[in-house]
Every structure is written in structure tokens, then in C-alpha cells.
Amino acid sequence: MLQTLDVALGLSFIFFLFSVLVSTTSEMILSWSNARGKMLWKALAHMLPEGKRNDTLVPLNDFVQHPLMTAMHRDPPGESVSKSFPSYLSNSQFSQVLMDILETKGTGAAGAETRWEQVRAGINKLDEGAAGPLQALSRDAERNLLPGQEPSSVFQFLAGQWFEAMMDRSTGWYKRLTQVWNFGLGIALAIACNLNVIAITRALSTNDQLRSALVQKAEAAVKEGGPATTTTASQPRPGEAEFQQTMSAISNAGFPVGWNSTTATAWKTHPVSSFFESLLGWLMAGAAAALGAQFWFDLMKNIINMRGTGTKPEPSSNVPPGEAGMTGPIPPAGLIIDGTQSQQI
């Protein structure tokens, strides 16, 4: 049982390091391509659509070109706005820009004297796709109006809540995109490093020294804390050095991990079985990377707790009352000690 847990812990440690390496590489690529900004662009296109461009919804142009928005993206000449769109927008800024657009559009409309009337008139001037949700919000603002409240203030608050709900949905979009990238990059890096999960499992099951070394590293990693999620240009990618050291240790032990003479001999001797075994092992490595580093870190903690290797509580230094200064056995109840004689009462 303990050996099985040690094998699982060693695998979890390797998957943890591999996931950190993959997720860091994936985040660098997604950041370079402004994936978060494109997700925000997509979310705004669903909230405030203004037709389609190349069969793709585009957000309201008045919103994108608002001064408060252009100050954030300032797209370079010749490039689309979505490539330089900001990756984050607060709900307060969204509602502020939206209110300014609606008031500006409604200014001068017939019968639009108050701010709320201007907002309603501005909504009616929008295209049907963008006006529909905003009209529903305006009706909801009037229904939930309390004494002393302005409809425009309630509408602005509800618009901010609507934006927050859409951001929760776009977060799900981004997580699914990240998982796809992690899976693809995981397979690519697994092939490049020949990270065959089946071969590693076999190695951990038969080599006690290697298994013990990885268990110690896993316990040290859990003791140090959770996975790092941010890097700078001057810092090495978290987990990369540890991962390379771990893979080197496994490869130097003579197991078919990495592209070396051992793997070349195995592929030459059994080409068909080696191919299908490696393919399955690479796919398993990609699936492990898609789960994320946090998943494997939590699993390592759970396995360590199951092994019973957690920190033992230090023995208490408190002495129970009545035992201070006594070197012999505790006297029975009722025994009086006065220094010269003892009496039992």
C-alpha cells in the first residue's frame, strides 16, 4: 500500500512540475497573442452587438471608440482593435462608458428632458441587437426603484451587475482555451522530452532509490508552498529547472525517458510496441498538463496526508498541576505531605 502511494506521489510530483512548465509557456503565448483582450472583445460583442464582420460579431463601435476606451487600447496603425484591446475592464468603467454613450445619443431627443429620459431615448436609437438587453435592464430598473432613488442610478448599477455576469462567463471561455493550449503544448513537450508516463510509472515501481528521491522532493515542494503563477522577464520559468533536474535523474538511472541510447535501443528492438506505448504515454502527459499545476499540488498534499508523513505535533511542555517537582510516583489522593511526616486521611 505504501509503495503504491509512493508511486502515485512521485507521478504527481512529475506532473506538477510538468504542468507548471506547460502552463507558463501557454500563458506566455496567450499573453503575446492578447487572448484575454480578445475574450473581452468577444464578451462585449455578445452584450452590445453592432452587426457582423467576416461572420463574427463586433461590439458597439461607439463603445470601443469612446475616449475612456481608446486611452486603454490605442491600436497601432494597420492592426485591428481586438489585437490591442485591454485585457481587463471594471464593471464601474463599463457602466460609466455605457451611460455616457446613451446620454449623448439621447440628448436633444423629443421629450428627453431628464437624465433618465435621455438614457431611454439613447437606448431606442441603438440597433435591435444592442437595444434589446438594455431595454430589459431599463424596465427592471423602474420596477426595482425605491423611494428617493433615481432610475438612472439603478440602471447603471444593474448594468454593472450584467457586465460582471458576462465576465464570469468569459472566464469560463478563457479557462477552456487555456486547457486546450495546455493539452496541445503538453503533448508537444512530452514528445520533445519523451515524457512517457507508462515508462515513468514502470521506473517508479521497480526502482526504490528513484522512488524515494522523488517522494522526498514532493514532500519538500509541498512544504515550500503552492505553485508560482507569475513570472517576469528576469526570472526563470517556475518549475523548469526542477523539471529538467528530475527528468535528468530519471534518464540517468537508465530508464527510457528522454531521447537517448536506451530509448533508441528500445525503439529498434520493439518498434511497434514502443510507438504505441509512447503515444499513449504522451497523451497521458498532455492530459495531466491540461488539469493544471494546482490540481497536482493538491493531490500531492492529499497523498502525503494519507501516507501519514505530516508534521507531528511537538510534545507539550506543560506539566499537569500537582506533578511539579515530583520525581517519584504520584501519591494517592488524600495523602498530606508536610516535609517531616505523611498522614493518610
Please spell the DSSP secondary structure of 266-285, one letter per residue: HHHHSHHHHHHHHHHHHHHH
Residue 98 has pLDDT above 90, yes or no: yes
Of residues 264 and 242, more confidence is placed in 264
CA 337, CA 221: separation in Å to the nearest integer? 56
Residue 325 has pLDDT above 80, yes or no: no
Of residues 3 and 322, more confidence is placed in 3
Residue 76 has pLDDT above 70, yes or no: no
Q: Residues 184-232: pLDDT tens digits?
A: 999 999 998 888 899 888 888 888 888 888 888 888 888 887 665 443 3
User: Which pLDDT value is given to residue 194?
Assistant: 86
3-state class of 43 per DSSP? helix
pTM beyond 0.85: no
User: Which pLDDT value is given to residue 99?
Assistant: 93
Residue 310 has pLDDT above 80, yes or no: no
Instruction: Report which residue type is found at 248.
Output: S
Q: Which three cell numbers stand for residue 130?
A: 444592442
CA 22, CA 238: separation in Å to the nearest integer? 10
254: region left, alpha or beta (phi > 0 left; psi from -120 to 50 alpha): left
Residue 249 has pLDDT above 60, yes or no: no
Of residues 76 and 15, more confidence is placed in 15
Contacts of 89 (CB under 8 A, 6+ apart): 40, 72, 163
CA 223, CA 108: separation in Å to the nearest integer? 66
Phi, psi torsion values for 226, nearest 5 degrees: -75, 175
Note whether 288 and 186 are within 8 A (CB).
yes
Q: Residues 37-62: pLDDT tens digits?
A: 889 989 999 999 987 777 777 888 88
User: Which pLDDT value is given to residue 287?
Assistant: 94
Phi, psi torsion values for 122, nearest 5 degrees: -65, -35
Tell me what percent of the residues of the chain surpass a pLDDT of 70: 77
User: Which pLDDT value is given to residue 326?
Assistant: 46
Long-range contacts of 116-120, Cβ-Cβ distance < 8 Å, separation of 24 or more? 116/150, 116/151, 116/152, 116/155, 119/152, 119/155
Of residues 72 and 49, more confidence is placed in 49
Contacts of 47 (CB under 8 A, 6+ apart): 59, 130, 133, 162, 163, 166
Contacts of 29 (CB under 8 A, 6+ apart): 181, 185
- For residue 305, how many other CB atoms are within 10 A of its CB? 11
User: In the chain, at which residue ranges do the beta strands (DSSP E only) sit?
Assistant: 49-53, 56-59, 335-337, 342-344
Residue 66: alpha-carbon gap to chain centroid: 32
Instruction: Report which residue type is found at 281.
Output: G
Max avg pLDDT among 144-148, 256-260, 297-301: 297-301
Count Cα atoms within 13 angstroms, Cβ side, for 109.
19
What number of residues does the chain have? 345
Count Cα atoms within 13 angstroms, Cβ side, for 192.
10
CA 41, CA 86: separation in Å to the nearest integer? 9
Where residue 344 falls among pLDDT bands split at 50, 70, 90? very low
CA 195, CA 281: separation in Å to the nearest integer? 7
Of residues 133 and 255, more confidence is placed in 133
Residue 255: alpha-carbon gap to chain centroid: 33
Q: What is the mean pLDDT of the chain?
A: 79
Where residue 318 falls among pLDDT bands split at 50, 70, 90? low
320 DSSP assignment: P
User: Which pLDDT value is given to residue 264?
Assistant: 78
User: Which pLDDT value is given to residue 237?
Assistant: 47
Count Cα atoms within 13 angstroms, Cβ side, for 92.
0
Beta bridge partners of 343: 336
Residue 300: alpha-carbon gap to chain centroid: 17
Residue 164 has pLDDT above 90, yes or no: yes
Of residues 284 and 313, more confidence is placed in 284
User: Which pLDDT value is given to residue 191?
Assistant: 92
In Å, how far are 121, 127, 330 from 158, measured between CA atoms? 18, 20, 73
